[in-house]
């Protein structure tokens, strides 16, 4: 039987790192076994510059062979930064894995995704689906690597920062510290989707002087209580699995529950409105194969404790919209059940700077930023070309 296609946020990051989406610049060759903390093998062949490498704990797995990646800027396997975690006393020195790609000396755009995304955002021509946002980042795409450099980091967890929990403020402070190390005074824009939008809002509130424009996609100043309830059930499943030695099964089941929230009701009705069938000793609904396939794939590449920490971080997120004083573009989806449009309207009216709200009409729900490329591309281009705070690059 043919495996059902998983169109979720289950991203295996396989960069074929050769001229990112055809990006023509001098480059360096290196071997990267992962964009995840945990397994790293780096072999550098320099071309008179310092470039991206990798770090160590298990996060989203990235299978790669040795390829050429056009990367500019100061990079390292781990950048060690100092932050003051919100839920701990005192400073912590923590390793942060990052990637910096794009045109040499071009303005920088920070790009961050959901909790299952990593710093591998783009891909090469021979592996167009490798980066989790490869359809939006590359030469000639919405975030054009002939015009911009793109910086991204792997999310930190509570365990990695020596705290009982990690906050969106901790993540944005880590990003600011990475900018310090890379000697990037200011970024043109922060483009964040889902959890990345939450961190982007925190960054705009805490580090406004370093930011020209915020683009927040499917994320707001606080989580919706119904979404929190759903994630709380997921975390309960994960804790039960950890306590009973069934971590893999629990992670798969938690992800399956999450899949039911990422897409709109209309898409489920369209794709899975078939008859049940008797198979393997029981009746099975059409949607079950898709859910089990997606959950199994996710459990193979992710870590239950990491999922727990980052899921909790979403529900700890609270920012004061009035403290966000940089021009902002909000983008939402009409069928998003995790981030309802009403919450985006509330955020838009409360921000401390000019803000516009763009709505994508789609049945793809929260995952629209990963699937509705044709609708999202012009919105991103328009936002990135709009006036920025301070009008300085």
Distances (CA, A) of 210 to 81, 179, 185, 199, 265: 17, 9, 6, 14, 40
Which among 221, 293, 317, 366 is annotated as catalytic? 366
Cα dihedral: 75, 76, 82, 88 (round 10)? 120
* Full 3-state SS string of 20-54: ECCCCCCCEEEECCCCCCCCCCCEEECCCCCCCCC
Phi and psi at residue 32, to the nearest 5°: -125, 120
- In the numeric block, the tokens 């600011």 are attached to 176
3-state DSSP: the chain helix, strand, coil percent, rounded to 5? 35, 20, 45
Q: Which helix (H) or strand (E) holds 381?
A: helix 373-385
Q: Which of 336, 343, 363, 367 is catalytic?
A: 336
Going by C-alpha positions, the residue among 259, 265, 289, 260 that lies closest to residue 277 is 289
Q: Is 194 a catalytic residue?
A: yes
The rounded distance, in Å, linking the Cα atoms of 34 and 104 is 24
Q: State the residue for tokens 């490798």.
A: 130
Among this protein's residues, is 207 annotated catalytic? no
336 among known catalytic residues = yes
Sign of CA dihedral 111, 112, 113, 118: positive
CA distance 337 to 169: 25
Identify the three-state secondary structure at position 110. strand
CA distance 191 to 184: 17
Of 194, 218, 252, 362, the catalytic one is 194
Element (H, E) at 360: strand 355-360
Residues acting as catalytic residues: 194, 336, 366
């Amino acid at each position: 039987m043919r495996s059902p296609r998983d169109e979720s946020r289950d991203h295996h990051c396989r960069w074929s790192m050769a001229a990112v989406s055809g990006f023509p610049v001098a480059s360096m060759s290196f071997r990267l076994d992962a964009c995840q903390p945990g397994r790293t093998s780096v072999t550098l062949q320099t071309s008179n510059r310092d470039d991206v490498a990798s770090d160590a704990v298990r996060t989203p797995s990235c299978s790669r062979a040795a390829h050429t990646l056009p990367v500019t800027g100061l990079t390292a396997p781990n950048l060690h930064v100092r932050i003051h975690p919100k839920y701990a006393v005192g400073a912590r020195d923590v390793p942060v894995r990052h990637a910096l790609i794009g045109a040499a000396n071009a303005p920088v755009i920070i790009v961050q995704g959901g909790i299952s995304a990593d710093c591998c955002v783009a891909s090469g021509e021979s592996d167009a689906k490798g980066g989790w946002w490869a359809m939006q980042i590359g030469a000639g795409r919405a975030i054009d690597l002939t015009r911009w450099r793109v910086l991204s980091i792997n999310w930190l967890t509570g365990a990695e920062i020596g705290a009982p929990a990690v906050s969106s403020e901790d993540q944005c402070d880590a990003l600011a510290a990475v900018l310090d190390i890379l000697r990037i005074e200011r970024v043109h824009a922060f483009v964040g989707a889902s959890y990345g939008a939450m961190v982007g809002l925190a960054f705009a509130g805490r580090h406004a002087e370093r930011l020209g424009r915020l683009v927040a996609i499917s994320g707001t100043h606080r989580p919706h209580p119904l979404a929190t309830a759903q994630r709380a059930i997921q975390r309960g499943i994960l804790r039960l699995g950890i306590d009973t030695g069934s971590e893999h099964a629990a992670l798969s089941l938690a992800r399956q529950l999450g899949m039911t929230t990422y897409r709109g009701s209309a898409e489920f009705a369209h794709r899975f409105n078939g008859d049940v069938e008797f198979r393997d000793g029981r009746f099975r609904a059409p949607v079950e194969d898709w859910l089990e396939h997606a959950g199994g794939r996710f459990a193979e590449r992710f870590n239950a404790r990491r999922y727990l920490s980052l899921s909790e971080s979403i529900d700890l997120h609270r920012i004061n919209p009035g403290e966000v004083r940089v021009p902002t573009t909000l983008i939402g989806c009409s069928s998003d059940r995790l981030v309802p449009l009403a919450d985006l309207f509330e955020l838009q009216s409360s921000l401390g700077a000019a803000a516009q709200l763009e709505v994508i009409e789609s049945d793809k729900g929260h995952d629209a930023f990963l699937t509705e490329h044709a609708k999202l591309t012009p919105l991103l281009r328009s936002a990135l070309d709009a006036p920025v705070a301070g009008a300085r690059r």
